[in-house]
Structure 1
Amino acid sequence: MDVSYDWLTELVDVPVGPEELADKVSRTGIEVPSVTRRDEGKKKIVIGHIESMKMHPNSDHMHVCMVDTGEDELRQIVCGAPNVAAGQTVIVALPGARIANNEKIKRGKLRGEISDGMICALQEIGFSDSVSPKKYADGIYVFNEAIKPGTDAMAVLGMHDAILDFDITPNRADALGMRGVAWEVGATYGNKPHFDDQPVVETGKPVGDFLQVSVDDPDDAPSYNLRVVTGVHVQESPLWLQRRLWNAGIRPLNNIVDITNYIMLYFGQPMHAFDYDKVGDGTVHVRRAAAGEGLTTLDGTERTLTTDDIVISNGTVPIALAGVMGGLNSEITDSTTSIVFESAVFNRTSIRKTAQRYDLRSQASSRFEKGIDESNIITALDTAARMAAELGGGTVASGIATATSVSGAPTVIDITTDQINHVLGTDLDAVTVRGIFDRLGFGVTGDGDQMTVSVPARRWDIFIVPDLIEEVARIYGYDNLPATLPTATMTVGTLTPVQRRLRRNRTLLQGAGMDQAITYSLRGEDQANEFALENNATTKLAWPMTVDHQELRANMLTGLLDAVRYNAARKENDIALYEQGRVFIRANGQHRPDEHNYVAGVLSGNFANKEWNQKAQPVDFYTTKGIVAMLLDDYNLDTPVEYTTDELPSSMHPGQSAYIMLADQRVGLLGRLHPQYEADNNLPETFVFELNLEPLLAAGRADKIVAPAPKFPSMTRDVALLVDITTTSAAVEDVIRAHAGQYLRDVHLFDVYAGPKLPPATRSLAYTLTFRRDDDTLTEDTVEKAMAAVVDALETEVNAKIR
């Protein structure tokens, strides 16, 4: 919330400047990250009065104005604003002035006519478009009251005021109003606020002659109150009120709407004003919307409502979306003469969901969501009616139309100084504690160390003893609390086996040249189950922040592919990313999903760049499989994994992809994306892998046997085979190992060839077989017998031809 320092000093005595105040408040619980002034870097901007005006002789839209700026002579200023006119009181930047964007104003000529300064719009001196009145959006700002020429314009416009950015946490919504801020600052320095609450003067007919109000469900509107003001003249607000609003970041509109915004800033109580003549027959009914019911809100958008929305109706049709935005069919216009002011409390959960559903988050809905000071609902309503009578010349109807109400009673809590000192480690006496509660505006009764504290309704965040202890700590000063070392028994922290394994995975993948990425756990609709390794019933958020983040992911790859797409679009083509995290798997009928540890990776472009002594090495299937095999080898599984191409998803290349199986359970996926999938998703040629770590972590581990270095030499034999193209290397190796005898130590595939010189649908595989005895030297005869057995088995079992 933007807090005006000048306004704050009118409500409570502040003994320090804005910067020191910001530091002090930040140390007592509400962070104030910045203090800004709109006058910084600007100078020589004054009030001027246009005495006369004529058309520029060389322009069809410029005017030559003679302006009184409080000096002995009038200044001639050329102005092209469409709304400039004689008799206006305006903002003038003198020669040598600095305005917005550090622009310097110089005396010069415009189309041959001398211009001795500049008549300014608010935007030209540093106001944003969002707070500048719409009436003057395309022209200069014109004051609606007489001001002496030559007066400092920045002082008149409140630009010398310091604006403190109070970063309000949800539990401190009491500080979303200037009165709550005054209590907070006053408690910090031991000064109580001084509010000037004046009574409303009721001179009109009874409110019952104008309105009949009802609420269907008190849970929707625990407090709903209306006042009527007749004979109102809707016009521009006085300067002091406009200044209050734009220093708080709100655009002034007219005196009635500005009053409601002022009340919201002052009390923290959102209000709404209806045009009484558009209410209908004087019936105001708070109810739930009918399914499909329509309402055009003040922003001009037609809304189709649901039964979860609370609406204000005129007995027939909705005229406002309760607590969020009014309806266009009841807005205040220049022709409005009778006003209905609404001051209420609405169901905070319903307001939050409605504001989110229609993307109508506002300062009003934010306050209703966080909570309202129930003791000031009527006071705020009375103040609004009184201001409408003063600023609009209206007559306040007698009485308040109330459908529901709340007590606004204080919360009573019993506490002792022993409880406070025990938690804070202090030695505070009862007098000090009572003084702190008094500074906060809390009532205290009781004798000695026993206290009964009455917490006013404006502090609805306090309702148990620990809340009071926190208040004592804040006001006493966190930096004044004693520092002590913990006395608990210290234990040595260690990692669990799963934590160690996950860290080991990261070490191995980073050692393989991959970079870690962290992506969102929420995916768009129908994206969560892509590349899924497990059956999953999609888990959707009831209230997603965006349509791209509404389902809990069941795989890791879709997020990584977003990263590939992002990098490729920015000409970063060599990509090697991995992510280790959790996916969310929910069985049909299961209420809450289970979290499973996964690891996944994506590779594209070159895995090794071209150097003077080597060629570039593009990523391929074997690069990807090698990384996965390296990672799986480190698990030392007692059951080896197998690869299968059955039932591959359509997003994977059918000839360069495989599932990874462990004891008939699908634990992983690796390979290249299908070229069509790559084209449809703006992806380069991309290779991926994904592993479900849960079964890998639970699987048995093989014993590691340490063997001494061999004492006897090994012997190798090469064999080249011609096999059918559908025969896998794994099948050939299984046959070799089954028939090569006890002295076979290794089988290595060193060549694969397929080409026109071979029969169709065949390929050549060449292997090196290594033999060794550990207790004696191998003989040629033993190796030849083993090779003969291997050759015979290959010809019989896999229909191989020896080349």
Structure 2
Amino acid sequence: MFVSYKWLENYVDLSGVTPEELAEKITRSGIEVEGVERIGEEIKNVVVGHVLQCEPHPDADKLNKCLVDVGEEEPVQIICGAPNVAKGQKVAVAKVGAVLPGNFKIKKAKLRGEASHGMICSLQELGVEGKLVPKEHAEGIYVFSDEAEVGRNAVELLNLDDAILELGLTPNRSDCLSMLGVAYEVAAILDRDVKLPVTEVSEGSEKASDYVSVKVEAKEDNPLYGAKIIKNVKIGPSPLWMQNALISAGIRPHNNVVDITNYVLLEYGQPLHAFDYDRLGSKEILVRRANDGETFVTLDDAERTLSKSQLVITNGTEPVALAGVMGGANSEVQNDTTTVLLEAAYFTGAIVRGASKDHGLRSEASTRYEKGVDPNRVLKAGERAAELMAEYAGGEVLEGTVLFNELDVEPVKVEITLEKINSSLGTAISVDTVEDIFRRLQFDAEVNGETFVVTAPTRRGDITIPEDLLEEVARLYGYDNLPMTLPEGEATPGGLSNHQLKRRTVRRYLEGAGLLQAITYSLTNDKKASQYALDVREPVRLLMPMSEERSNLRLSIIPQLLEVVSYNKARQNDSLAFYEVGSVFLTETGEELPQEEEHIAGALTGLWHQHPWQGEKKPVDFYVAKGILEGMFEEIGVSEAISFRQATIDGMHPGRTAEILLDNEVIGFVGAIHPEAEKELDLNETYVFELKASPVFHYEKPALSYTPIPRHPSITRDIALVVNTDVKAGDLVAIIKEAGGKLLKEVSVFDLYEGEHMEAGKKSLAFSLKYFDPAKTLTDEEVVKVHDGVLAAVKEKAGAELRG
């Protein structure tokens, strides 16, 4: 619900309370205000101008040269390209120096050789959404009525200096789907009075009952139906203040009659509908259930096939409206309409909700009927609309309302005690305080000792049980004023489990490393369900999927992350890094439900490192992805148990993919996406990783031990080994470590050579070996003995020869 601060001031005194302060107070009382928007906050120096002259630009077919009076000593020349600009119009002019939304500044300019001192504005250029602009101004500039004062601030005239509060209403607070409902709420919060609209309808001598009769067959669905007749209406634009009110609430203005029904809908929360009486085709209104297969064309020009579960308004034979949802094209108010039949009715929420759902039609009217309207405002809203049509459409309201009324609604009486209130809230509120809260809410309350018998008004259909009154007392007393207590007795202090702690550590590390968290669908299609799966199982298919694209539970997170990368790349975001800690779902033999397993996954593409000033760029490669994982393993203390080995995996690049092992058990993989997969998704070179979280999070790492800082020097030996090209460096490292024993502390690869001086089928791998004994200084003889053993081991187990 969008609430205009200025419109709200018509019903409640808001002096001394800013929109932001009001939003805070409403939120603290239980209705969340999701935001406060000031559309015209940035706009400066925009005024009403009068177009004195308008002639074609001498050197441009689609431009016009206009002389505009902006309330200064001399008129100014403005070049305008709007198709609807014309002499004599009152328009919004952004003068030189003006600022428009988006910090767009207006300067003096020359357009095709002609000077332009400002800009004639459309509503869109002033920050109004295109879908809310009246149709007659949608393709050009906005034109004020002739009464607009030249030089006046156009932002104020268009109400763009208003503040719009967006209320996030829960289903039980349908009373605040109207300005009056919000007014009652705000009045209770501020302890001020509500000023209700005064309706004084001057009726003509003719009777409405001579023009139409009302008959209701579906009485349970429609216990109250009122019809008023307004003759001699003149269709035209509604007054500017009403258009502004509708735009602020997110409704597009149409014409005075339709705008009035929408205005009253927003004001009273009661949907109304205006029929063109002459197009109705009869003098009868019959409300009934639709016939199965009956067709009907709604206002959006769509043909609807009806069923007997839906309620229709008919002219005695054919439908003219789908009750509570949308009117029909056959009785629509048009520019030549002169007589209006105004409907004000009470339809039950279930019948409207069913029709709205069946036809996929959600309207402002159906939303309110579904959640419940105030039965005591139905006819009042009709009277209010009839009065406005008489005033702003020149109509003559005929005497009386043609009525069908079998609605029996009595205000609900609810009883609650002071002891119940204080024991539930932990407070010591007095009887007078509770009574004052009910007064502010305008609830009639009888006090018998410490018992309150409250008569809830019909506008508050959510008040039915004592707990509802308890909530009203709590929120108006102030949630911040409720006392805080600690639980008594034995208690276990809260804390994170080891699994939760590791998960948070992983997230913090990956985000610190520059990856953004993604939360993707757990549902995917048949093709992607098994892609990149660590455990290949039969995918779990939903019995009733939303669509084929979301029909299976995933076995891997990577396909969804690649969708995220592809989506962003299509929007010119080339350097991307995402991660997700989420679940995959594995079928279990003999089990009805799948096993949910937590995985850690990531996807990286583009530039990882860039310093334009130094001219440095580092694209993402295998070692960036692997390095991120190695840092993560170090952070959670499992790096000693982790190793990598080359692997071939479907969908991955055959030469740039490695399995991740924990204590020699495969837990995941890291590598580049296969070029064919990249081409299919229109990706650049992309690297991914995915691993099981549980083995990493629950790994029992050895107890932390410390060694003294070395006092004796180490000895380093470099060796270059010639081996077959299929021999892996990791295997050689393992052999060297085993042969080196306790004296060998570090082994690292620092060179790979496969050039022209190397025999075919061979390669050279260079290693740096560091020998060290913490107890003494090593002698050359001791190092040579161990080192010779290393060379013998690599020759025996890997066929390695020392390169000469």
The TM-score normalised by the length of structure 2 is 0.70
| CA deviation string 1:38-68 (max 9, x = no partner) | 999679869x9x9xx999899999999999x
Cα contact 1:533–1:666 (8 A) shared by 2? no
> Closer, same or farther in 2 for the Cα pair 1:238/1:132, shift >3 Å?
same
1:445 is aligned to 446
- CA distance in 1 between counterparts of 2:317 and 2:296 reads 12
Residues 214-241 of structure 1: CA deviation (Å, up to 9, x unaligned): 48xx7xx676746364756452366475
**Aligned partners of 1:623, 1:24: CA distance in 2, in Å?**
47
Q: CA deviation at 1:476?
A: 4.5
Residue matched to 1:400: 403
Going from structure 1 to structure 2, the CA distance change for 1:415 and 1:678 (only over 3 Å counts) comes to same
- 2:264 corresponding residue in structure 1: 263
TM-aligned CA deviation for residue 100 of structure 1: 9.4
Aligned counterparts of 1:783 and 1:598: Cα–Cα separation in 2: 43
Asked whether the 8 Å contact 2:276–2:332 carries over to 1, the reply is: yes
Paired residues for 1:159-170 under 5 Å:
163-170=162-169
- Secondary structure of 1:33's partner? strand
Report if the CA contact (8 A) 1:287-1:313 is conserved: no
- 1:517 and 2:516 aligned: yes
AA at the equivalent of 1:499: Q
* Shift in Å, 1:180: 1.4
- Residues 414 and 624 from structure 1, CA distance in 2 versus in 1: closer, same or farther, beyond 3 angstroms? same
Q: Is the 8 A contact 1:245 1:262 kept in 2?
A: yes
Contact kept, 8 Å, 2:39 with 2:127, in 1: the verdict is: no
Distance of aligned partners of 1:550 and 1:389 in 2 relative to their CA distance in 1, 3 Å threshold: farther
Q: Distance in 2 between matches of 1:347 and 1:203?
A: 32
SS at match of 1:334: coil
Counterpart residue number, 2:341: 339
Q: CA deviation at 1:643?
A: 3.8
C-alpha offsets along residues 489-520 of structure 1, whole Å, 9 cap, x if unaligned?
Answer: 8976543212332344356657xx82131223
Matched AA of 1:669? F
Question: For residue 184 of structure 2, what is the aligned residue in structure 1?
Answer: 183
Mapping for residues 88-167 of structure 1, pairs under 5 Å: 133-135=134-136, 141=143, 163-167=162-166
Task: Check whether the contact 1:348–1:371 (CA below 8 A) recurs between aligned residues.
Answer: no
Pick closer, same or farther for the CA change 1:275–1:583 going to 2, 3 Å: farther
AA aligned opposite 1:790: A
What residue identity is the alignment partner of 1:413? V
Whether the 8 Å CA contact 2:736–2:790 is kept in 1: the answer is no
- CA distance, structure 1, for counterparts of residue 568 and residue 253 of structure 2: 45
Q: Which amino acid aligns with 1:33?
A: V
Contact 1:39–1:159 (CA under 8 A) maintained in structure 2: no
Q: Answer yes or no: is the 8 Å Cα contact 2:235–2:335 preserved in 1.
A: yes
Instruction: For 2:729 and 2:272, locate their aligned partners in 1 and report how far apart those are by CA, in whole Å.
Output: 77
Question: 1:793 offset after TM fit, Å?
Answer: 4.0
Q: Which amino acid aligns with 1:343?
A: A
Q: Distance in 2 between matches of 1:130 and 1:787?
A: 78
Amino acid at match of 2:414: I
User: Which residue is 2:658 aligned to?
Assistant: 658
Q: SS state of the match for residue 413, structure 2?
A: strand
Residues 409 and 456 in structure 1, CA contact (< 8 A), matched pair in contact too = no
Q: 1:673–1:58: structure 2 CA closer, same or farther, 3 Å change rule?
A: closer
Which residue identity lines up with residue 203 of structure 1 in the other structure? Answer: K
Report sequence identity in percent. Answer: 30
Quickly say closer, same or farther: Cα 1:676–1:668, change in 2 above 3 A.
same
Q: Distance in 2 between matches of 1:155 and 1:717?
A: 83
| 1:759 CA displacement | 5.3
Secondary structure, counterpart of 2:518 in structure 1: coil
Q: Which moved more, 1:34-43 or 1:689-698?
A: 34-43
**1:676 and 2:676 matched:** yes
- Counterpart check, 1:203 vs 2:207: yes
8 Å CA contact retained: 1:207, 1:397: no
Aligned partners of 1:591, 1:547: CA distance in 2, in Å? 22
Q: How many residues align?
A: 759
How far is the alpha carbon of 1:268 from its aligned partner?
0.9
Does 2:431 correspond to 1:430?
A: yes
- The equivalent residue for 2:455 is 454
Alpha-carbon distance in structure 1 between the residues aligned to 2:619 and 2:259: 66
Given that 1:158 and 1:243 are in contact with CA atoms closer than 8 Å, whether structure 2 keeps it comes out as: no
Deviations along 1:679-708, one digit per CA (max 9) or x if unpaired, are 444433333222221233345545667678
SS at match of 1:372: coil
Contact 2:523 2:554 in 1 (8 A): no
Q: Please list the CA deviations of residues 527-579 of structure 1 after superposition, one character each: whole Å capped at 9, or x if unmatched.
A: 676544345847889999x999999876554565577668878998776x463
3-state SS in 2 of match to 1:659: strand
Aligned to 1:109: none
Q: Which moved more, 1:323-332 or 1:702-711?
A: 702-711
Partner of 2:687: 687
Distance (whole Å) between structure 2 residues aligned to residue 348 and residue 270 of structure 1: 16
> Residue 33 of structure 1: which of 13, 31, 36 is its match?
36
Contact 1:228 1:341 in 2 (8 A): yes
Structure-2 separation of matches of 1:104 and 1:446: 65
The change in CA–CA distance for 1:598 and 1:788 in structure 2 (over 3 A counts) is closer
Whether the 8 Å contact between 2:274 and 2:341 is mirrored in structure 1 is: yes
Deviations 1:110-145 (A, max 9, x none): xx9xxxx9999989999876666545666875759x
Letter in 2 for 1:521: T
Aligned partners of 2:640 and 2:549: how far apart in 1? 42
* Bigger mean CA offset, 520-529 vs 409-418: 520-529
The answer to whether the 8 A contact 1:186-1:192 is kept is yes
User: Secondary structure in 2 aligned to 1:469?
Assistant: helix
Counterparts of residues 106-505 of structure 1 (less than 5 Å): 133-135=134-136, 141=143, 163-171=162-170, 172-187=173-188, 188-196=190-198, 203-205=207-209, 209=213, 214=218, 225=225, 227=227, 229=229, 233=233, 235-236=235-236, 239=239, 245=246, 250-275=251-276, 284-286=287-289, 298-299=299-300, 302=302, 312=312, 323-336=324-337, 337=339, 339=341, 341=343, 343-345=345-347, 347=349, 351=353, 363-368=364-369, 370-381=371-382, 383-384=384-385, 391=393, 392-393=395-396, 395=398, 399-400=402-403, 407-422=408-423, 427-476=428-477, 481=481, 494-505=495-506
Task: Name the structure 1 match of 2:111.
Answer: none
Shift of 1:267: 1.0
Report what 2:647 is aligned to.
Answer: 645
- 3-state DSSP of counterpart to 2:166: coil
Whole-Å separation in 1 of the counterparts to 2:572 and 2:56: 57
Q: 1:675 to 1:320 in 2, by over 3 A?
A: farther
Structure 1 runs not aligned, ≥5 long: 70-74, 107-111
Relative to 1, partners in 2 of residues 1:672 and 1:259: Cα closer, same or farther, differing over 3 Å?
A: same
Cα offset for 1:458? 1.5
Q: More displaced, 435-444 or 618-627? A: 618-627
2:208 aligned counterpart, secondary structure: strand
SS of the residue 1:522 aligns to = coil
Query: Does the 8 A contact of 2:539 with 2:555 survive in 1?
Result: no
Return the letter of the residue paired with 1:191.
Answer: D
Q: C-alpha separation between the residues in 1 aligned to 2:447 and 2:466?
A: 16
Please state whether the residue corresponding to 2:582 is helix, strand or coil: strand
RMSD: 6.4
Counterpart amino acid of residue 520 in structure 2: S
Distance in 2 of aligned mates of 1:724 and 1:674: 26
SS in 2 for 1:660: strand
Contact map agreement 1:656 1:672 (CA 8 A) in 2: yes
The answer to whether 1:581 aligns with 2:585 is no
Label 1:581 to 1:430 Cα distance change in 2 as closer, same or farther (>3 A). same
Residues 583 and 274 of structure 1, relative CA distance in 2, 3 Å threshold: farther
1:207, CA displacement in angstroms? 8.9
CA distance in 1 between counterparts of 2:783 and 2:387 reads 114
- 1:624-773 equivalent positions in 2, closer than 5 A: 624-629=625-630, 631-632=632-633, 635-636=637-638, 643=645, 645-646=647-648, 648-650=649-651, 652-661=652-661, 667-701=667-701, 723-731=723-731, 740=739, 745=744, 748=747, 750=749, 751-758=751-758, 760-765=760-765
